[in-house]
Amino acid sequence: MARIVAGVGTSHTPAIGAAVDNGKAGQPYWLPLFEGYEPAKRWIAETKPDVAIVVYNDHVNAFDFKIVPTFALGCADEFPIADEGWGPRPVPVVKGYPELAAHLVQSLVLDEFDMTIVNEMQVDHGLTVPLTLLFGTPQAWPCRVIPLAVNVVQYPAPTGRRCYRLGQAIRKAVEGWDEDLKVVIFGTGGMSHQIQGPRAGLTNPAFDKTFLDGLSQDPQRLVRIPPIEYLREAGAEAIELVMWLIMRGALGEKVEEVYRFYHIPASSTAVGHIILECR
Amino acid sequence: MGKPKMVLDQTYEDIPGTWIFDAQRARLGYHLNEFLYSLMKSSNRKEFLADERAYLMKFKMTEEQREAVLKRDWNRLLELGGVSYALAKLAFTDGKSYQWMASRMTGMTEQAYVDMMLKGGRSPDGWRSKSERRGKR
């Protein structure tokens, strides 16, 4: 049986990818951040997942506004790297798992989550920066990846409760796949940040800490946070944190927090990271 | 023109210094964002930079939106339905970074903005609502 064994929450700030790609990771501005991810790199090297389900959002790269899917599951056998305006990131192409993705779609739709099926899609920093943070700069990514793109760009994003329930349905779907697979699910984006308008640069470490605590101890409190609270307290783009609730929902009731890291700044964002193992 | 019969919660309009990209703003900004999306292709970036106005005329944008693009009036572009991730493609086309664009939106120099972030970022205190903002000024 396939099993979700752990969840990873992490920011996906594009400047982090650019720092690695341009050889700046050792500079004083960036060093504390990358040092903070070293234990995570060791953890994932030991965990050796076969598949990563990466919950992220596209940033007007795969999807313009012709079609705005709330939940889109990548069912292709590979996903090219998007040119976001300065050339594609020099990272390996992302290999999918179309058989498992097709199974997930079928299970999720019957569980009343109407997924958009995506058979061709480029992936942007939202997906590739978390891979870089956890896996570094390999010649090929060490596991297969199923992208789950969530609309958090055009308001409203799906609610936290809806996201949590989708995670629960993903857990059930994965367990319905008859192959001995270790699956890790990533919830990405956040943490507090605002990257638009005169209020840009907003961060809220107290909000972020409460959110990280809630993930490990009381996710039911987090699913009740209304959208306005993310926007007002943690910045217009902090609504991305609902994607972490998909990850948390997919882990089952009991988890153990095995690592946490928090750092300000990466460009305009507060960077948060948590690893939760299923118990 | 019709209006929603059920009043939708738009309390986010009360957040100062922020334009939430909601369904109505997305509708107003559709062609503007399509223009910005086109800048993902390097051939389009070159064509735009060679004659900006001629390139903009290829899109069904409003004249106000075209003017705001030509002036790189970032906050006006947000107000007219541009979404920050798409606007970033215009900044990248100019050889600038996202951080630079964000600093322009705040009216700070890029260095002052970087310094603010290095000190932990902007506190939400005084920025939660328009009335709280007025009290702080």
Mean pLDDT of B10-31: 95
Q: Is residue B39 located within the same domain as residue B85? A: yes
Indicate whether B51 belongs to any domain: yes
Q: Where are the beta strands (DSSP E) in A83-128?
A: 94-95, 116-118
Q: Is residue B89 located within the same domain as residue B117? A: no
Q: Is residue B30 located within the same domain as residue B85? A: yes
Q: Is residue B80 located within the same domain as residue B49? A: yes
Q: Is residue B86 located within the same domain as residue B125? A: no
Asked if residue A85 has pLDDT above 90, the reply is no
How many structural domains are present in chain B? 2
Q: Is residue B72 located within the same domain as residue B41? A: yes
Q: Is residue B65 located within the same domain as residue B88? A: yes
| Fold topology of A3-278 | Protocatechuate 4,5-dioxygenase; Chain B (3.40.830)
Strand order in the sheet with A51-56: A116-118, A71-74, A144-150, A51-56, A182-188, A3-10, A269-278, A255-266
Indicate whether B1 belongs to any domain: no
The model's pLDDT over A132-142, given as tens digits with 9 standing for 90+, comes to 999 999 999 99
Q: Is residue B84 located within the same domain as residue B43? A: yes
Indicate whether B60 belongs to any domain: yes
Q: Is residue B83 located within the same domain as residue B137? A: no
B111: which 2 tokens?
Answer: 């260095």
Q: Is the Cβ of A232 closer than 8 Å to some Cβ of chain B? A: yes
CB contact under 8 A, B121 and A203: yes
d(CA A2, CA A174): 6
Q: Cα dist. A159→A58, A96, A173, A228, A255 in Å?
A: 18, 27, 21, 11, 22
d(CA B33, CA A28): 36
Domain ranges of chain A: 3-278
Residues in A closer than 8 angstroms to B40, CB to CB, are 61, 82-85
User: Known catalytic residues of A?
Assistant: 125, 193
B4: which 2 tokens?
Answer: 């929603």
The model's pLDDT over A240-274, given as tens digits with 9 standing for 90+, comes to 999 999 999 999 999 999 999 999 999 999 999 99
Closest CB to A60: pick one of B16, B86, B128: B86
**Residue B49 pLDDT grade (very low, low, confident, very high; cuts 50, 70, 90):** very high
Is ipTM beyond 0.85? yes
Q: Is residue B89 located within the same domain as residue B26? A: yes
Asked if residue B7 has pLDDT above 80, the reply is no
CATH number at residue B51: 1.10.700.10
Bridge partner list, B32:
none
Q: In which domain, by residue range, is B133 found?
A: 107-137
Indicate whether B2 belongs to any domain: no
User: Angle, to 10 degrees, between the axis of helix A14-21 and the axis of helix A125-135?
Assistant: 60
Q: Is residue B48 located within the same domain as residue B71? A: yes
Query: Would the CA dihedral through A236, A242, A247, A248 be positive or negative?
Result: positive
d(CA A142, CA A131): 10
